[in-house]
Amino acid sequence: MDFDATLLSRLQFAFTIAFHIIFPSFTIGLASYLTVLEGLWLTTRNEVFKVLYLFWIKIFAISFGMGVVSGVVISYELGTNWSVYSRVASPVIGPLFAFEVLAAFFLEASFLGVMLFGWKKVGPRLHFAATALVAFGTLVSAFWIISANSWMQHPTGFTQLADGTLRAVSWMQVIFSPTFPTRLAHMVLAAYLTTALVVGAASAWRILKDPDEDASRIALKMAVGMFAIAAPLQLLVGDASGKLVLHVQPAKLAAIEAFWETRTEQPFHVVAWPDRAIDGNRWEFSVPALGSWITSGSTATEIKGLKAFPPEDRPPVFIVFWAFRVMVGLGVAMIALGAWGVWLYWRNGGPHHSRPFLWACVAMGPAGFVAVIAGWIVAEVGRQPYVIYGVLRTADAVSPVRASQVSVSLLAFLVIYAVVFSVGALYILRLIAAGPNAETIEAAGPRPPGYALAAAPLEPEDQA
Amino acid sequence: MTLDLPLVWAGILAIAVLMYVLLDGFDLGIGILFPFAGSPADRDVMMDTVAPVWDGNETWLVLGGGGLFAAFPFAYAAVMPALYIPILLMLLALILRGVAFEFRLRARKRGKAFWTAAFTVGSLSATIAQGLVLGGFIQGMTLKDGAFAGGPFDWLTPYTLLVAAGLVAGYALLGSTWLIWRTEDELHGRARLWAWISAGAVAALLAATSLATLFVHANIAARWGFENGAFDLGKLAPLLPIPALGLVGLVVAAIGLLRRAHFPPFLGAGLVFLSGYLGLAVSFFPYIVPYSMTFREAANPDNTLALMLGGGAILLPAILGYSAWVYWIFRGKVGAGAGYH
């Protein structure tokens, strides 16, 4: 394979956006979680919720910072590396990105300052409002980004001019393209699950160290509740999303399931080794006829195989097939974890008594991130060879830049992101290891607990 | 009445970029001045003066980039590949600068030293990169059929380096005058010294850059009255208030420094930036990619711009309102004993 500017730009975009998605998928959920914690503290006045809030906000601050700086990159990378895409697509999805910045980015960035540093500067209700606005901002951000992405997956409400550029004819159809509602629900549930898994793992870890830690027990209970509700719901939403793919992106569906022939009663390949070189699976372990039923609800439905598409229109099958199985496998594990946790509450007086369950929670801590990235690979690689499905090919979308430039920038991203990620992860893990009560004990002075919030001056300043 | 939508959006973007330069300018300036602090405690205070607002400040840069994509995609598609290296340098530098805010607080001894250095290196590199972007932009770029058709290092010339040096001095001036306003005691005194030095550097580099800019492109010289070896005072005269504003800014800053005032030096620094910014705006107008593409040629169709303006008309005033409120919440002097550490 030739390392040309297109391939290098794809690698760079894939790397920078995969890095970026880690943080929003955690902070979307964590911002909502912090809102719930602060709301519970304000209404119940139970100090445990305050302790948890002050603990998780520190982790939120680190994660959000990394999300912001890696997100800024994207808003310029579309031009540096995908200038043709920008020119063609902007008339239609430009407003979606603009609204993301105007309605969400500013809201989050501004009220984040109040949330992190305003504990002593504003009253508790106003501080709660700031937390809630940050959480609302993260959801609005997800709304516009998934709207733009859904349009690129299945563009509607536009027309193409002779010069190749696009024009919107119906903004409603652009913003609310048919796959958007299910994909947004899928993403938000994924974010909530990712956060719940991290909260669950951190709390389980603390309970393993100190079985009597109240705050961690409550956090674990909340996390298990989220698994139990969101994980099964995610299965339903994911299935609905998959059934839409069958209609709007049949080539992607064929790649997801490694279907090659077009037929009814498609077998379901539990595992397989699909290979484009032989136009088939080198080996497979399959259940007859189940594939048609899973993807369409009936074994009698004729489902297109990859051979129905010209080779130049087929997405890479191996990576899509396996990424999908990783995602679904982890999703099933999340459902099992939730069911196990609920069962322990029912039978055992609480999952904090079960060391195997606590260890399982710790092990599943990173599962949300892996599942999100795997799902993103299914969506984006499965859309290939198009960047705007059926409209603009990825190879035609790239900037007139040289491979040498892109290789240097890609290398720089790899190095800097590796440093930033490992250091950020280290600091977060250190905080988790120390647990929610660590700084309450230290802070026996005039300083309020929790660094991030301790950051505000003790006395309000009156002089302007 | 029909709105001239491309013109409105050109105005909105121009204001967004100006907001970015003024607001993140003092954040980056603080990073540039970081090594000169008298003590680690002073460095903590310097960072604390901007910690609650830097994120909102940087968002104006996202609006600059995202807005160019959304309103003037042809310019966005031409400029970004032309300035590939300095843009990417800026983004990477801003990553280091941005994560340093949180990481520096979490780090232990060696880590803290590393992130202190990263904050400076990130701020300084981001500023230099922005100077190179600005210089490369003023120089103009080679386009063919609306796409960039030049070399990867076209942006690297003595002129762009001069602009970069000027921007470093300018951000240092914004940063030091911000510190004069927002700190007290020894750090406040040091910031006065920094402000004097950077104000001198700004005066010299601004004069040098302004002159050099006249020689960079005939279009700019002609706009300011110098055409084909002749000089036309009638063209220059209406524009004279712009350089005059810069002089006023320098004088306000200098008098403020002499009188030991707290806020006027920052105001003066802002006026200097406003003057430079307006000077460039009149030099380019109506080009959005200098000398090759006007903002009208680069603009999205009216239905796109109108939809965005509908949203922007509600959201932009809200943004300005709550941003101002956040600044109000965090007003006043920030001191070492104030509880940040």
- Tokens representing B138? 């003023």
Question: A347: which residues sit within 8 A by CB, 6+ positions away?
Answer: none
**pLDDT value of position A452:** 44
Residue B223 clears pLDDT 50, i.e. is over it: yes
**pLDDT value of position A23:** 92
Chain B residue whose CA is closest to A65: B99
Interchain CB distance below 8 Å, A103 and B69? no
pLDDT in tens, A76-131: 888 888 988 998 999 999 999 999 999 888 999 899 989 988 888 888 899 999 99
- Tokens representing B271? 């006026």
**pLDDT value of position A211:** 86
Answer whether A62's CB lies under 8 Å from B106's CB: yes
Interchain CB distance below 8 Å, A420 and B95? yes
Alpha-carbon gap, residue A392 to A381, rounded angstroms: 15
How many A/B residue pairs have CB atoms within 8 Å?
A: 248
Residue B78 clears pLDDT 80, i.e. is over it: yes
Interchain CB distance below 8 Å, A101 and B66? yes
Alpha-carbon gap, residue A2 to A17, rounded angstroms: 23
Residue B17 clears pLDDT 90, i.e. is over it: yes
Phi and psi torsions of B240, nearest 5° = -60, -30
Taking contacts as CB-CB distances below 8 angstroms, the residues of chain A near B119 are none
Residue in B88, B95, B326 nearest the CB of A69:
B95
Q: How many other CB atoms are found less than 10 A from the CB of residue B310?
A: 12
ipTM of the complex: 0.88
Taking contacts as CB-CB distances below 8 angstroms, the residues of chain B near A76 are 65, 80, 87, 91
Answer whether A159's CB lies under 8 Å from A152's CB: no
Alpha-carbon gap, residue A462 to A130, rounded angstroms: 22
Taking contacts as CB-CB distances below 8 angstroms, the residues of chain A near B47 are none
The pLDDT-based confidence of A177 (bands split at 50, 70, 90) is very high
Q: Which residues pair with A386 in a beta bridge?
A: A393
Percent of chain B with pLDDT over 70: 98
Task: Read off the pTM.
Answer: 0.89
Residue A240 clears pLDDT 50, i.e. is over it: yes
* Average pLDDT in chain B: 90
Taking contacts as CB-CB distances below 8 angstroms, the residues of chain A near B55 are 65, 68, 109-110, 112-113
Taking contacts as CB-CB distances below 8 angstroms, the residues of chain B near A83 are 76-78, 80-81, 147-148
The pLDDT-based confidence of A3 (bands split at 50, 70, 90) is low
Residue B10 C-alpha, separation from nearest chain A C-alpha, in angstroms = 14
Least confident of A338-342, A400-404, B172-176: A400-404
Residue B146 clears pLDDT 50, i.e. is over it: yes
Interchain CB distance below 8 Å, B333 and A463? yes
Residue A22 C-alpha, separation from nearest chain B C-alpha, in angstroms = 15
Least confident of B101-110, B199-208, B261-270: B101-110
Residue in B51, B304, B339 nearest the CB of A168:
B304
pLDDT in tens, A246-286: 889 999 999 998 888 888 888 888 888 988 888 888 888 88
Mean predicted confidence (pLDDT) in B292-301: 90
Chain A CB within 8 Å of residue B198 CB? no
Mean predicted confidence (pLDDT) in B68-79: 91
Chain A CB within 8 Å of residue B86 CB? no
* Average pLDDT in chain A: 87
Answer whether B179's CB lies under 8 Å from B30's CB: yes
Phi and psi torsions of B168, nearest 5° = -60, -45
Residue B149 C-alpha, separation from nearest chain A C-alpha, in angstroms = 7
Interchain CB distance below 8 Å, B63 and A458? no
H/E segment holding residue B326: helix B302-329
C-alpha to C-alpha distances, A135 to A30, A115, A131, B56, nearest whole angstrom: 8, 11, 6, 16
**pLDDT value of position B336:** 66
- Most A CBs within 10 Å, among B19, B49, B62, B123, to test the A interface: B62
Answer whether A226's CB lies under 8 Å from A193's CB: yes
A192 vs B2, higher pLDDT = A192
Residue B221 clears pLDDT 60, i.e. is over it: yes
Q: How many other CB atoms are found less than 10 A from the CB of residue B38?
A: 11
Residue A455 clears pLDDT 50, i.e. is over it: no
B176 vs A295, higher pLDDT = B176
Q: Where are the domains of chain B?
A: 5-329
Assess whether the previous peptide bond of A155 is cis (omega < 30° from 0): no
**pLDDT value of position B31:** 95
Residue B193 C-alpha, separation from nearest chain A C-alpha, in angstroms = 23
The pLDDT-based confidence of A333 (bands split at 50, 70, 90) is very high
Alpha-carbon gap, residue B9 to B24, rounded angstroms: 22
Least confident of A436-440, A452-456, B323-327: A452-456
Residue B338 clears pLDDT 60, i.e. is over it: no
Taking contacts as CB-CB distances below 8 angstroms, the residues of chain B near A414 are none
Residue B261 C-alpha, separation from nearest chain A C-alpha, in angstroms = 14
- Most B CBs within 10 Å, among A60, A82, A102, to test the B interface: A102
Q: How many other CB atoms are found less than 10 A from the CB of residue B318?
A: 13
Answer whether B24's CB lies under 8 Å from B61's CB: yes
Taking contacts as CB-CB distances below 8 angstroms, the residues of chain B near A455 are 48, 51, 339-340
Answer whether A152's CB lies under 8 Å from A49's CB: no
pLDDT in tens, A382-421: 998 999 998 888 888 888 888 888 888 889 989 999 999 9
Q: Where are any strands of DSSP class E within A71-165?
A: 158-160
Answer whether A111's CB lies under 8 Å from A137's CB: yes
**pLDDT value of position A439:** 61
- Most B CBs within 10 Å, among A83, A144, A158, A414, to test the B interface: A83
Q: Which residues pair with A158 in a beta bridge?
A: A168
Interchain CB distance below 8 Å, A413 and B319? no
Chain A CB within 8 Å of residue B107 CB? yes
**pLDDT value of position B133:** 94
Alpha-carbon gap, residue A363 to A351, rounded angstroms: 15
Percent of chain A with pLDDT over 70: 94
- Tokens representing A281? 């699976």
**pLDDT value of position A454:** 44
Interchain CB distance below 8 Å, A98 and B71? yes
Q: Where are the domains of chain A?
A: 9-178+402-464, 214-400
Residue B162 clears pLDDT 90, i.e. is over it: yes
Residue in A76, A106, A448 nearest the CB of B56:
A106
**pLDDT value of position A444:** 36
Taking contacts as CB-CB distances below 8 angstroms, the residues of chain B near A81 are 81
**pLDDT value of position B337:** 52
Q: Where are any strands of DSSP class E within A37-89?
A: none
Interchain CB distance below 8 Å, B315 and A447? no
Answer whether B105's CB lies under 8 Å from B117's CB: no
**pLDDT value of position A327:** 95
A191 vs B236, higher pLDDT = A191
The pLDDT-based confidence of B201 (bands split at 50, 70, 90) is very high
Alpha-carbon gap, residue A344 to A416, rounded angstroms: 44
Q: Which residues pair with A271 in a beta bridge?
A: A285
Chain A residue whose CA is closest to B302: A91
Interchain CB distance below 8 Å, A94 and B73? yes
By DSSP bridging, strand B287-289 and strand B293-294 are: antiparallel
